[in-house]
Structure 1
Amino acid sequence: MVGTGDGVDVAYEIDAVRRRVGKGVFKEVETRVVALSRTFGSPPAEVWDACTRSERIPRWFLPISGDLRGGGRYQLQGNAGGTIERCDPPNGFFATWEFGGR
């Protein structure tokens, strides 16, 4: 097992994510599109809560600030920010990923 010292199998976690990369159009501008999906053994409402509550996101990603509702802007500490374009609780959301002015 490749771990982080806290029992997390990093290789397993990376392999568990399905990725799709392509091109798309957003607000009439050609963009890169990255879609990530993962199956969890928890109820959808629990996974949704872990992915959308600012208090829980730093447990698995980075500290986040902002308005995490449709139309709101977010900022990941020391990294990208963007806009929450669409929310479909508890099924998914669409957000922009803006870094360095792009």
Structure 2
Amino acid sequence: MDTPKVASAYTPALLTKYLNYIALPDQYAQYINQPQSFPKTEEALKDLFRCQITRFPYDNLTSEIQPEKTHTKVIGGSESNPRSCRGGYCLEMGIFFHHTLRGLAGIG
């Protein structure tokens, strides 16, 4: 049975903003402006996840199930809408990371 591919809610520009924000180790700097070229290796996934969980805290103050709104909430939308220094509850952050991984994998 084939599993349908769900497209990422995040554009390459949003993925670049994410990769810049999470403070990746230096060896990944070359992929920041070309997020779909990000390595698809176990080591890269571990590093990405480590950065994800250390940069975005879990909280339960508000929740957004819509990936675009979550991205804006945790990273910020623009200079006039800066980052809130917040994370989200576990499902919210899981959906956020899911769409990030799909975007990095080029599914979108």
What TM-score, normalized by structure 2, do the two folds share?
0.25
Larger radius of gyration: 1
The structure carrying a bigger helix percent of its residues is 2
TM score, norm. by length of structure 1? 0.25
